[in-house]
Amino acid sequence: MDVSESLEAAINQQIGHEFSASHSYLSMASYFERIAYDGFAAWMHLQSGEERVHAMKFYNYLLDRGGVVKLPSIEAPRYEYNSPLEVFEASLQQEQEVSKSIYHLYKLASDEGDYATVSFLKWFIDEQVEEEKTVGDMIDKLKRAQDNPEAILLLDRFASERKSGEEE
Ligand SMILES: [Fe+2]
Ligand SMILES: [Fe+2]
């Protein structure tokens, strides 16, 4: 059974959100590279790559379900920030918006009785919980570090040790 037109449109929108997140994380990486926080930059590069993987999961799913991929345009991301904390707060906000749009997709799919899409989306719902938690933890650590340069450098080092989720 092919995906409905309304779900096709919503999935295409979601592909746009994931690519937009990937773009935004790349821009955050460039900010950190500019000010020589290599660990935070590595974190953002990793994150940018993961968002691209998410976009491609939707892309492949849409094709598998007989849909047409219509890539939406992507806005230019922000490239200027005042502190690492500000970047991670922007990251959390972005993740929360993505979570909301995945919930919206889920509701659309379940209202239509498209159980294949409902099942497909479950992975993303769990993934968003994980991502929001990871970013939230970093925000807590950065708040605790406040303006202490040594503490922030320690967190930069900690960020460089982050690994991609193996289950992906
Ligand atoms: Fe994502
Ligand atoms: Fe994400």
Segment 44-58 shows an average pLDDT of: 98
41 vs 74: CA distance, rounded Å: 22
**The pLDDT of residue 166 is above 80:** no
Q: Which amino acid is at 95?
A: E
The CA 79 to ligand 1 mean position distance, Å, reads 20
> Does residue 168 fall inside a structural domain?
no
Mean pLDDT over the full length of the chain: 96
32 domain residue, yes or no:
yes
Range of the domain at 19: 5-160
For a pLDDT cut of 90, what percent of the chain falls above it?
95
Structural domain includes residue 165: no
How far is the centre of ligand 2, averaged over its atoms, from the C-alpha of 43 (Å)? 12
The enclosing domain of 59 has a CATH number of 1.20.1260.10
CA-closest candidate to residue 115, choices 18, 5, 3, 13: 3
In the reported structure, the alpha carbon of residue 12 is separated from the centroid of ligand 1 by a whole-number distance in angstroms of 14
- Residue 23 C-alpha to ligand 1 middle, in angstroms? 11
Q: What is the DSSP track for 92-156?
A: HHHHHHHHHHHHHHHHHHHHHT-HHHHHHHHHHHHHHHHHHHHHHHHHHHHHHHTT-HHHHHHHH
* 56 has pLDDT over 70: yes
Residue 105 is assigned to a structural domain of this protein: yes
For position 81, what pLDDT does the model report?
98
What is the distance of C-alpha 130 from the center of its chain?
Answer: 11
- At 105-155, the pLDDT tens digits run 999 999 999 999 999 999 999 999 999 999 999 999 999 999 899 999 999
Q: Is the torsion defined by CA of 164, 24, 71, 107 positive or negative?
A: positive
CA distance 118 to 137: 29
Across 55-64, average pLDDT: 98
Q: 120 in a domain, yes or no?
A: yes
Q: Would 137 be classed as within a structural domain?
A: yes
Can you say how many angstroms the Cα of residue 140 is from the centroid of all Cα atoms in its chain? 19
Which protein residues have their CB within 5 A of the ion that is ligand 1?
Answer: 18, 51, 54
Tell me, yes or no, whether 102 lies in a domain. Answer: yes
Q: How confident is the model at residue 1 (pLDDT cuts 50, 70, 90)?
A: confident
Question: Looking at the 3D structure of the chain, how many domains does it have?
Answer: 1
